[in-house]
């Protein structure tokens, strides 16, 4: 019999959760963000110069000339960078790439204008004010062409794949016949608008080259540092080792910092030319055009059901857009493929290539918008059948992924629905719409399921145990406010038995082992598993050292050993870890790669949303009164930050249902909301009491930590629950999101005197 | 933002004199001026800080019941002031419905009256706007105009005056006090203060170069219940789609329709200036609350209203909101103390 060290226990009671490790720095304003790096902090003798971008004011055409005379002679200006003096860069691409964030993305590279708000120049000066003033003296001459900026099936193409290389079309069963034979049928179209991430921290970069101009360090705000490293290196025709990306604090990402942007590239170019550190930050207005956004969608949803509620047929056909020069395809129909056990499910996608800025991931790409059509559609069918919406969902629950034809590794949708219904007091609901009125306000409730497929990405970690017993974690991971630093500390503590106060998590630097970064809810699983793996190796090394012939635990079987309180023990004999560490410390590595589990199992997080709204019968204003969300996402690493993720997603669901949209002016091709006064997200007064909980669950397959993604499931389905509640309140079904007062107004009852 | 000189004025006369040259501008809270100067929508070359001017920071009441409000009283303080809360709750409510606590802390009474429109093309340096560049054209007329005016506009401009405070001041018949560059003083009734755009939309108020607003006076409050209803896309921190400031004096008649003695109402969010139509008020004076009377009042208020596409909905929204506010207030009269005594 082989003697093996038991696995680290995964049941440390962390109770109501642990505080954010970096919380005090953030709330006291002392956590340095990308635009706040002083000369001292970056190790430069001189203070960073400041670059200000000049953006195009047409959406499509040719940049004929730029008049930069006044800017170049403005006091304090050091450089006016245009396509005339920009260094050679690689062309955009490749279009199809495994890692689209590692592609080459040149700027000031040719005379084509591809979207409104594309950088055409950078002015670098001693101060922000002088750079900005000089930038505003630059005038451009264009040969404009008419931009195509609206979704249109007639000009759409069938994309080869969807985001994540998922198939464009899927089909199980016989949709046509199943739909035709259905007792209840629905065939409607839902529309969702362009949305902007509008993170609190604008995109910003500080760049510094070494004395030879060979290596550059970029302090930037980005979610996947290793991809940015490769992409910027490729663009500037450098080797990745010549580019170091540092990004410890990220003031919100939501997918809008998965790509890197021209702030990073232009700061790097300017700093090299000027032999001086340069920083470039986007203004709030610039962020809305010079970065990515969530595509608008138009989704036809057809649902056929038997009289008993059994779903016979679902078809979900989605149109979205990407930039003319890009190939991102919103995977709008992903959840429809796997959520309900219908007899026939078909999905398809169409794509418009438009003269707009790039569309790309935004929190729960695909699912956040796709579940609006699916889950509102289900509500419509429930209403037609006269069936309770929760019962309809329970009746179609399945433990097998219907399209992938694989079992789910863990799926507690039914438990989430039942628990949510109880917590929300769903049974008190009047299913007939428009019956409950309190003065001016029509009250209604609605619900929706939540689902988000799980992802694991390659990740590595290194840990160093010093002789003093301090454990340092190193990985090029990021924490865009999600709480990653804190859970990494917890994982390391749980796995090694070293208390959290003797653990330092250092992330945010490509000098550390490459990590998955933060996105797609894969951060904790990927980085956390790599770290866990490094801890396992460390444990084994320590246990072996202890049990060697001359070791303090000689002849004691490994199988009897455990780690706790920074010690190794077999129950009777306890050895502090410090006694087992060589003078220069003990370093181990760990890694994770997606394995075969994904072929054998479908893995996803599930949940259920319940919402109560009040709709003014006079004005059509909707206010959410309360929400309940119940989620099952495997083991929860930190109850406190997990709850923040859930309520953040649900509040974003309120925004998506009621407020958020960035319409394009079809004449100019420009987004019309360019500041936070016009781009509405939920204010405090819009966020009511939110009851968010996680059910206890074990995820046996996905990863050694038994966890699943929690960052995005909270928004999935949340807007649909609110749309459904509005229907219950008013009897009005709005299929064009967001549901603003002007859309409800024509259908409201006469004013009562 | 262009480089400018910054100086502090220590007397009103000095401020008025220094603010006279073209390109000179007073700055109070700066919450509007700086947002416009950074993207060069306005380009002052001299900024005169008036926040240290003496004696413009108080709210006082004279023996005849008139209340005087200094131009530098912050929006937050004005809304919270006991005299205002007690006698002019419509003003408190209007102010508190606007912006955010941080902005209201900085914003001043004078600055609020002079805040510029939030029209989307006005805020877009790349768009055409007759307010910014007379004769350039208007990109709102056939463009993004969901927030724009249905009343008081012209082919040159359909920009809404976005102030909530000004709508309440309009229904309260405030008078604005000004010191001119020549050192003289004059008063302007709120009804005349904001100008319709016509074909000079760059000319927004009756103020002239160098004029400094020193404050405003409110006559004793008229009888009736005061309300401010702001319809907006989200619950807070959003400009009005439609707002109604109303003072309704009605007899509570438990079983029958209430009898309206007098009704005053001004609308915001829908017009190029705070919108008040005396004939519409007259249609309700000394009338029972009936649908006919309310329809007449709404017809008169909205006479000539026209939508421009995205903002068409404001016509029914304004009618519904106005109807509801008047009817609801008349049915629930909590009369103010008509004497105004504290
Ligand atoms: C994000 C945001 C949301 C907002 N939401 C709302 C809202 O919902 N409702 C609303 O009503 N308002 C809203 N506001 C506007 C806000 O009320 C105004 O910005 C504020 O009242 C302006 O006052 P201020 O003292 O800061 O003016 P400043 O910016 O200092 O000045 C504005 C103008 O007035 C001139 N000026 C100032 N004082 C005097 C004086 N005494 N004499 C002569 N000229 C003077 C200045 O030269 C300048 O031209 C919002 C503002 C922001 C930024």
Rounded Cα distance, B281 and A742, in Å: 27
Residue with tokens 């097998």: A400
Report the greatest alpha carbon distance in chain B. 67
What integer pLDDT is reported at residue A12 of this predicted model? 64
B1–A contact, CB cutoff 8 A: yes
- Residue A543 CA to its chain's centroid (Å): 39
Inside any domain, residue A120: no
Inside any domain, residue A542: yes
Rounded Cα distance, A339 and A341, in Å: 7
Count other Cβ atoms within 10 Å, centred on residue A288: 25
Element (H, E) at A688: none
Inside any domain, residue A499: yes
What integer pLDDT is reported at residue A16 of this predicted model? 74
Q: Which atom of ligand 1 is nearest to the CA of B164?
A: 11
Tokens representing residue A483 in the block: 């709480």
What integer pLDDT is reported at residue B336 of this predicted model? 44
- Please state at what angle helix A639-658 crosses helix A718-730, rounded to 10 degrees: 50
User: Is residue A650 within 8 Å of A686, Cβ to Cβ?
Assistant: no
Cβ contacts (< 8 Å) between A620 and chain B: which residues? Answer: 317
Count other Cβ atoms within 10 Å, centred on residue B189: 12
Q: What order do you get walking across the sheet with A216-220 strand by strand?
A: A77-81, A119-125, A49-55, A278-281, A204-209, A216-220, A243-246
In angstroms, what separates the C-alpha of A401 from chain B's closest C-alpha?
39
B225-331: CATH superfamily:
CO dehydrogenase flavoprotein, C-terminal domain (3.30.390.50)
**What spacing in Å lies between the alpha carbon of B163 and ligand 1's midpoint?**
9
What integer pLDDT is reported at residue A14 of this predicted model? 59
Residues of chain B with CATH 3.30.43.10: 5-52
- Residue ranges of alpha helices (H) inside A275-351 are 284-290
Using 70 as the pLDDT threshold, list the residues of chain A that sit under it. 1, 12-15
Interface of B with A in 58-117 (CB under 8 A): none
Percent of chain A topping pLDDT 90: 96
DSSP label of B25 = E
Rounded Cα distance, B151 and B170, in Å: 16
**What spacing in Å lies between the alpha carbon of B30 and ligand 1's midpoint?**
7
Q: Residue A680: which of B238, B317, B323 has the nearest Cβ?
A: B238
Contact B234 A685 (CB under 8 A): yes
Rounded Cα distance, A149 and A194, in Å: 11
Is the CB–ligand 1 distance for residue B167 below 6 Å? no
What integer pLDDT is reported at residue A596 of this predicted model? 84
Closest CA to A642 of A705, A716, A694: A694
Residue A716 region by backbone torsions, left for phi larger than 0, else alpha for psi between -120 and 50, else beta: beta
Active site residues of A: 712
CATH number of the domain within which A542 lies = 3.30.365.10
Rounded Cα distance, B267 and B152, in Å: 12
Inside any domain, residue A342: no
User: Is residue A673 within 8 Å of A679, Cβ to Cβ?
Assistant: yes
Cβ contacts (< 8 Å) between A740 and chain B: which residues? Answer: 233
Could you tell which of A677, A678, A681, A685 is best to mutate to test the pocket of ligand 1, judged by most ligand atoms within 8 Å of the CB?
A677
Closest CA to A313 of A339, A334, A341: A341
Bridge partners, A628 (sequence order): A610, A691
Q: Which residue range(s) make up the domain with A492?
A: 23-27+456-593
Tokens representing residue B113 in the block: 């009256």
Inside any domain, residue A705: no
**What spacing in Å lies between the alpha carbon of A278 and ligand 1's midpoint?**
35
Count other Cβ atoms within 10 Å, centred on residue A642: 25
In sequence order, the 6+-apart residues with CB closer than 8 A to the CB of A112 are: A62, A63
Cβ contacts (< 8 Å) between A118 and chain B: which residues? Answer: none
Task: Tell me if residue A389 falls in helix, strand or coil.
Answer: helix
Count other Cβ atoms within 10 Å, centred on residue B241: 28
- Chain B residue with CA closest to A671: the answer is B144
Rounded Cα distance, A522 and A223, in Å: 12
Residues of chain B with CATH 3.30.390.50: 225-331
A678–B contact, CB cutoff 8 A: yes
Contact B317 A619 (CB under 8 A): yes
Q: Residue A618: which of B38, B234, B321 has the nearest Cβ?
A: B321
Tokens representing residue A526 in the block: 């990927």
What integer pLDDT is reported at residue A753 of this predicted model? 86
B334–A contact, CB cutoff 8 A: no
Beta-sheet pairing, B225-231 with A204-209: unpaired
Contact A658 B234 (CB under 8 A): yes
Rounded Cα distance, A94 and A207, in Å: 25
Burial of A457 (0-12, 13-18, 19+ CB in 10 A): buried
Tokens representing residue A688 in the block: 């009511």
**What spacing in Å lies between the alpha carbon of A399 and ligand 1's midpoint?**
59
User: Is residue A400 within 8 Å of A342, Cβ to Cβ?
Assistant: no
Could you tell which of B15, B69, B111, B211 is best to mutate to test the pocket of ligand 1, judged by most ligand atoms within 8 Å of the CB?
B111
Across A186-200, b (16+ Cβ under 10 Å) vs e yields beeebbbbbbbbbbe
CA distances from A199 to A415, A587, A655, A673, A676 (A): 34, 37, 14, 14, 10
Q: What is the mean pLDDT of chain A?
A: 96
B315–A contact, CB cutoff 8 A: no
Inside any domain, residue A691: no
User: Is residue A401 within 8 Å of A736, Cβ to Cβ?
Assistant: no
Rounded Cα distance, A316 and A346, in Å: 6
Could you report the per-residue pLDDT of B209-249, keeping only the tens digit for each? Answer: 999 999 999 999 999 999 999 999 999 999 999 999 999 99
Using 70 as the pLDDT threshold, list the residues of chain B that sit under it. 334-342
The total number of structural domains in chain A stands at 1
Bridge partners, B193 (sequence order): none
Q: Which atom of ligand 1 is nearest to the CA of B32?
A: 29
Rounded Cα distance, A325 and A114, in Å: 8
Rounded Cα distance, A349 and A322, in Å: 13
Count other Cβ atoms within 10 Å, centred on residue B155: 11
B14–A contact, CB cutoff 8 A: no
Element (H, E) at A413: helix A413-424
What integer pLDDT is reported at residue B297 of this predicted model? 98
Could you tell which of B23, B115, B274 is best to mutate to test the pocket of ligand 1, judged by most ligand atoms within 8 Å of the CB?
B115
The residue whose C-alpha atom lies closest to atom 13 belonging to ligand 1 is B99
B179–A contact, CB cutoff 8 A: no
A665–B contact, CB cutoff 8 A: yes
Q: Residue B120: which of A620, A678, A684 has the nearest Cβ?
A: A678
User: Is residue A364 within 8 Å of A522, Cβ to Cβ?
Assistant: no
Rounded Cα distance, A585 and A578, in Å: 9
Contact A741 B1 (CB under 8 A): no
Q: Give the count of Cβ contacts less than 8 A between chain A and B.
A: 101
Is the CB–ligand 1 distance for residue B109 below 6 Å? no
Could you tell which of B6, B21, B27, B187 is best to mutate to test the pocket of ligand 1, judged by most ligand atoms within 8 Å of the CB?
B27
Exposure on the CB side of residue A201, measured as CA atoms within 13 A: 26
Across A49-62, b (16+ Cβ under 10 Å) vs e yields bbbbbbbbbbbbbe
What integer pLDDT is reported at residue B252 of this predicted model? 76
Percent of chain A topping pLDDT 70: 99
Is the CB–ligand 1 distance for residue B98 below 6 Å? yes
**What spacing in Å lies between the alpha carbon of B112 and ligand 1's midpoint?**
4
Helices vs. strands in chain A: H and E counts, helices first: 17, 35
DSSP letter for each residue of B160-227:
PP--HHHHHHHHTT-EEEEE-TTS-EEEEEHHHHBPP-TT-TT--BS--TT-EEEEEEEPSPPSSEEE
Inside any domain, residue A68: no
**What spacing in Å lies between the alpha carbon of A193 and ligand 1's midpoint?**
31
Count other Cβ atoms within 10 Å, centred on residue B33: 20
Q: Residue A618: which of B127, B290, B324 has the nearest Cβ?
A: B324
Provide φ and ψ at B290, rounded to 5°.
-130, 160
Cβ contacts (< 8 Å) between B124 and chain A: which residues? Answer: 670, 674
Contact A680 B234 (CB under 8 A): yes
Inside any domain, residue A532: yes
User: Is residue A451 within 8 Å of A716, Cβ to Cβ?
Assistant: yes
Q: Which CATH architecture has domain B5-52?
A: 2-Layer Sandwich (3.30)
Contact B289 A682 (CB under 8 A): no
- Chain B residue with CA closest to A677: the answer is B238
ipTM of the complex: 0.96
User: Is residue B33 within 8 Å of B42, Cβ to Cβ?
Assistant: yes
Provide φ and ψ at A373, rounded to 5°.
-65, -45
Task: Tell me if residue B257 falls in helix, strand or coil.
Answer: coil
**What spacing in Å lies between the alpha carbon of B312 and ligand 1's midpoint?**
28
Closest CA to A7 of A496, A527, A525: A496
């Amino acid at each position: 019999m082989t003697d093996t060290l038991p696995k680290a226990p995964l049941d440390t009671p962390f109770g109501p959760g642990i505080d954010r490790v970096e919380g005090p720095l953030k709330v006291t304003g002392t956590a340095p963000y990308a635009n706040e790096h002083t000369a001292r902090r970056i190790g430069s003798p001189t203070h960073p110069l400041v670059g200000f971008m000049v953006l195009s004011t047409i959406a499509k055409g040719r940049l004929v000339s730029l008049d930069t005379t006044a800017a170049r002679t403005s006091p304090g200006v050091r450089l006016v960078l245009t396509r005339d003096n920009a260094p050679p860069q690689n062309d955009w691409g490749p279009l199809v790439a495994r890692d689209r964030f590692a592609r080459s993305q040149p700027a000031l590279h040719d005379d084509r204008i591809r979207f409104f708000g594309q950088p055409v120049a950078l002015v670098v000066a001693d101060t922000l004010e002088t750079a900005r003033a000089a930038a505003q003296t630059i005038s451009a001459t264009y040969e404009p062409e008419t931009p195509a900026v609206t979704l249109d099936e007639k000009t759409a193409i069938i994309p080869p794949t969807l985001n994540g290389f998922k198939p464009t079309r899927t089909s199980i069963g016989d949709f046509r016949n199943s739909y035709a034979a259905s007792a209840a049928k629905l065939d409607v179209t839902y529309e969702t608008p362009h949305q902007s991430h509008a993170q609190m921290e604008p995109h910003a970069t500080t760049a510094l080259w070494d004395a030879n101009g060979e290596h550059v360090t970029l302090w930037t705000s980005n979610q996947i540092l290793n991809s940015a490293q490769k992409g910027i290196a490729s663009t500037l025709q450098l080797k990745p080792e010549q580019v170091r990306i540092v990004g410890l604090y990220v003031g919100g990402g939501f997918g809008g910092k998965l790509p890197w942007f021209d702030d990073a590239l232009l700061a790097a170019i300017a700093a090299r030319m000027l032999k001086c550190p340069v920083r470039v930050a986007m203004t709030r207005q610039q962020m809305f055009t010079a970065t990515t956004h969530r595509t608008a969608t138009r989704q036809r949803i057809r649902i056929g059901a038997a009289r008993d509620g059994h779903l016979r047929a679902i078809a979900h056909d989605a149109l979205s857009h990407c930039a003319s020069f890009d190939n991102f395809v919103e995977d709008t129909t992903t959840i429809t493929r796997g959520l309900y056990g219908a007899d026939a499910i078909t999905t398809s996608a169409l794509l418009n290539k438009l003269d707009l800025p790039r569309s790309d991931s935004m929190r729960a790409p695909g699912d956040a918008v796709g579940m609006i059509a699916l889950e509102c559609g289900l509500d419509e069918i429930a209403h037609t059948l006269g069936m309770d919406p929760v019962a309809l969902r329970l009746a179609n629950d399945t433990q097998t992924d219907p399209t992938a034809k694989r079992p789910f590794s863990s799926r507690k949708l039914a438990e989430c629905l039942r628990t949510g219904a109880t917590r929300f007091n769903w049974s008190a609901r009047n299913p007939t719409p428009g019956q409950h009125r309190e003065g001016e306000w029509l009250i209604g409730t609605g619900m929706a399921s939540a689902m988000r497929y799980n992802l694991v990405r390659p990740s590595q970690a290194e840990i160093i145990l010093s002789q003093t017993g301090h454990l340092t974690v190193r990985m090029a991971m990021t924490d865009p406010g999600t709480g990653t630093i804190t859970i990494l500390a917890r994982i390391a503590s749980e796995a090694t038995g070293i208390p959290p106060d003797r653990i330092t998590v250092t992330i945010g630097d490509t000098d550390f082992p490459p990590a998955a970064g933060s996105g797609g809810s894969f951060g904790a699983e990927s980085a956390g598993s790599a770290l866990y793996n490094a801890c396992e190796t460390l444990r084994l090394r320590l246990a072996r050292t202890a049990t060697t012939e001359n070791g303090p635990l000689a002849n004691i079987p490994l199988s009897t050993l455990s780690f706790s309180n920074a010690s190794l023990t077999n129950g009777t004999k306890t050895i502090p870890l410090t006694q087992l560490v060589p003078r220069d410390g003990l370093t181990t590595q760990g890694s994770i790669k997606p394995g075969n589990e994904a072929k054998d199992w479908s893995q996803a997080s599930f949940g259920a949303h319940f919402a109560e709204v009040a709709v003014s019968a006079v004005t059509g204003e909707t206010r959410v009164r309360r929400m309940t969300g119940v989620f099952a996402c495997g083991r929860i690493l930190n109850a406190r930050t997990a709850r923040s993720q859930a309520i953040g997603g649900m509040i974003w669901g309120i925004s998506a249902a009621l407020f958020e949209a960035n319409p394009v002016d079809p004449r100019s091709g420009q987004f019309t909301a360019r500041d936070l006064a016009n781009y509405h997200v939920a204010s405090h007064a819009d966020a009511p009491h939110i009851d968010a909980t996680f059910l206890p669950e074990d995820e046996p397959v996905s990863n050694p930590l038994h966890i699943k993604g929690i960052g995005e499931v909270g928004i999935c389905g949340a807007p649909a629950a609110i749309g459904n509640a509005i229907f219950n309140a008013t009897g009005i079904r709005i299929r064009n999101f967001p549901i603003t007062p002007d859309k409800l107004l024509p259908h409201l009852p006469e004013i009562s005197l | 933002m262009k480089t400018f000189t910054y100086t502090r004025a220590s007397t009103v006369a000095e401020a008025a004199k220094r603010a006279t040259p073209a390109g000179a501008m007073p700055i109070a809270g700066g919450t509007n001026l700086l947002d416009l100067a950074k993207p060069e929508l306005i380009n002052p070359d001299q900024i005169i800080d008036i926040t240290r001017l003496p004696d413009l920071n108080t709210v006082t009441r004279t023996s005849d019941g008139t209340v005087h409000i200094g131009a530098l009283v912050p929006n937050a303080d004005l809304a919270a002031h006991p005299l205002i809360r007690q006698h002019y709750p419509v003003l408190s409510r209007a102010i508190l419905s606007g912006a955010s606590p941080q902005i209201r802390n900085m914003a001043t009474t004078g600055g609020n009256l002079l805040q510029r429109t939030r029209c989307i093309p006005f805020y877009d340096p790349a768009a055409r706007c007759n307010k910014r560049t007379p004769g350039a054209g208007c990109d709102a007329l056939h463009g993004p105009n969901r927030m724009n005016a249905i009343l008081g506009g012209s082919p040159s401009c359909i920009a809404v005056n976005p102030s909530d405070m000004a709508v309440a001041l309009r229904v309260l018949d405030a008078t604005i006090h000004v010191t001119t560059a020549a050192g003289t003083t004059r008063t302007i009734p709120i009804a005349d203060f904001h100008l319709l755009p016509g074909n000079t939309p760059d000319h927004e108020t009756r103020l002239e170069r160098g004029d400094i607003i020193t404050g405003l006076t409110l006559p004793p409050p008229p009888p009736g219940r005061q309300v401010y209803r702001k319809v907006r896309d989200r619950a807070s921190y959003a400009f009005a789609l439609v707002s109604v400031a109303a003072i309704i004096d009605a007899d509570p008649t438990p079983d029958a329709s209430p009898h309206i003695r007098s009704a005053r109402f001004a609308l915001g969010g829908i017009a190029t200036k705070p919108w008040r139509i005396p004939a519409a008020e007259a249609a309700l004076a000394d009338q029972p609350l009936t649908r006919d009377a309310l329809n007449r009042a709404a017809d008169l208020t909205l006479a000539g209203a026209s939508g421009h596409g995205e903002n068409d909905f404001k016509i029914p929204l304004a009618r519904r909101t106005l109807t509801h506010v008047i009817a609801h207030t008349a049915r629930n009269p909590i009369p103010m103390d008509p004497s105004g005594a504290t």
